[in-house]
Amino acid sequence: MQEILGHFQEWLENSEKPMEDIAGEKKMTILIKYPKQTKERNGIFFEKKDKELTNLDWSQQGGWFDTDGTLTYNDARKRADLKLKDRQPVELFSKTFETSLTDYLNTSWLPGPYRKKHTVTMHQAVLRGEKAVWFTKHVYPYLIKQGKKDLAAKLLGYKPESKNFADWTPEEVIHYLASALEGDGDFTVRGKKAISIRAKLSSNDVQYLSDVKYLTEKKLGLTSTLSESSDYKTQKGIKTMYRLCIFGSSQKPNNIDFFQSLVKEGLMMLNRKKQRVQEFLKGQE
């Protein structure tokens, strides 16, 4: 079983390659189309969004880009991508930042002796060039994972100021954690009457999870546990997966307020995860 888990973790970590046709092009469909960038359009966009978007919007994007979002750069290309099988958060990203929403078939193979072809529809929205730079500059203060901060600094060509943990507001932490848990987390409801819940955030970066644990304890008063989950093989060697768990139950009433805050309008985008939180809260009535 441990060997199977190791192969599966490696499959999750390796970036998936999109299915290509005979000509070598992605089978991509445009779902929502925005016009191409121009200096004039970008100037209007930046002015409008600098007024519209708040610290809570940027802390929420920080949670997405510390988990599922990607930042890439070279001399000719700068990009900020959000790519998920779930449409809702990617569509919101597309509409918020006025960039086209596409989908395509993505194929990957489970490595090792249990190789199996896996095809899924992925949804993608990409900020390029000047927009990617603008986005990265604004989201940087709310990035916690050092690896993502390093990529952001390279994309920008300089290292901006991070937001000191002491200066985060409780609302910013909740918005960050809501999207991070939707990205690299899950929720498990236990008991026939949904008497308890576990929110789990997973990463092979133990310092990242330690920082999130510290932030949630200081700003939200949450109690949580940080532990090793499993070792797994990758092309770069053996890695360890860690998990940060936040439990809710009648025995942990200080955490229940946090779970109640997650289901408020505008926080959780994934219904399949939000419904588990709602199921737990209903069991507490």
Domain match, 146 and 192 both: no
Residues 200 and 237 in one domain: yes
- The SS3 of residue 227 is strand
- Note down the domain range covering 189: 167-283
CB proximity list for 47: less than 8 A, separation 6 or greater: none
Q: Into how many domains does the chain fold?
A: 2
Top-confidence residue, 67 or 6: 67
Q: Given 111, 132, 163, which residue is the final one in a domain?
A: 163
pLDDT value of residue 22: 31
Report pLDDT digits (tens) over 152-193: 999 999 999 999 999 999 999 999 999 999 999 999 998 877
**Distance (Å, rounded) from C-alpha 217 to C-alpha 204?**
21
What confidence category does residue 2 fall into, taking pLDDT thresholds of 50, 70 and 90?
A: very low
156 and 268 in one domain? no
CATH of the domain at 250: 3.10.28.10
d(CA 262, CA 260): 5
